[in-house]
Amino acid sequence: MFDTLKRDVYEACLQLPRSGLAILTWGNVSQIDRKNEVIAIKPSGVPYDKMKAEDIVICDLQGHVVEGTLRPSSDLDTHLVLYKAWPQINAIVHTHSPWATMLAQAGQDLEALGTTHADTFFGPVPCTRALTQEEVEGAYEAQTGQVIVETFARRHMVPEQVPAVLVAGHGPFAWGGSPGQAVENAMILEQCAWMAVIDHLIDPAIHPVQPFLLDRHYYRKHGKNATYGQR
Ligand SMILES: [Zn+2]
């Protein structure tokens, strides 16, 4: 069962090493099937070049394995918290892609410095607060999801308008309507993070892009008046 779900997640997983977002077994991808109340997620600790579509694990929304012989990604509980909090997202990607991770390790937002960023992210990609010792020693993976949800609520951000986050001291999560879209957002995040870090070296006083230019680019590609692409 769930062959299409597994296949979609598997193919998105393979995009991570191909696009330079992940090495070894790093990173994970999941997709939710909201009608059947299951998620498909990468198995824990399986290298991408050894992985098969049937290795993708199917879990219920409590995190119990419904189908599959391997253990799910250790970040499963982070994914579950995000799916429950945000019904508008259907796929999640987590990587330790270096440039986005460098910002996360520095505890800094990815500022919207230009239109490359504004085409996908309607404002800065936020960095969360650091988790407390209690949170890390407790239900760590679920708390990672909670701090992401908390960050978006506190900063009045909408996950479909800013489809990524930097978890302080850890790395990026990105999401979308499908695994392919979530991977694409993770790739754009990495590219923007790379440019932003170098931009700050070129000009430490660099400013975010003007709000009118951010609006123009974001709404050219998103929303009911979008004009980008073909009819
Ligand atoms: Zn991680």
d(CA 99, CA 21): 10
pLDDT (0 to 100) of residue 230: 72
Q: Where is 52: in which H helix or E strand?
A: none
pTM of the model: 0.95
Average pLDDT over residues 159-181: 97
Q: Is the pLDDT of residue 228 over 80?
A: no
**Ligand 1 centroid from CA 225, angstroms:** 37
pLDDT (0 to 100) of residue 231: 66
pLDDT level of residue 226 (50, 70, 90 thresholds): confident
**Ligand 1 centroid from CA 146, angstroms:** 15
Active site residue 119: yes
pLDDT (0 to 100) of residue 229: 76
CATH of domain 3-221: 3.40.225.10
Structure confidence by residue, pLDDT tens digits, 65-95 = 999 999 999 999 999 999 999 999 999 999 9
d(CA 42, CA 18): 16
Q: Of residues 33, 55, 60, 119, which has the active-site annotation?
A: 119
Active site residue 60: no
Structure confidence by residue, pLDDT tens digits, 2-36 = 999 999 999 999 999 999 999 999 999 999 999 99
**Ligand 1 centroid from CA 221, angstroms:** 30
**Ligand 1 centroid from CA 78, angstroms:** 10
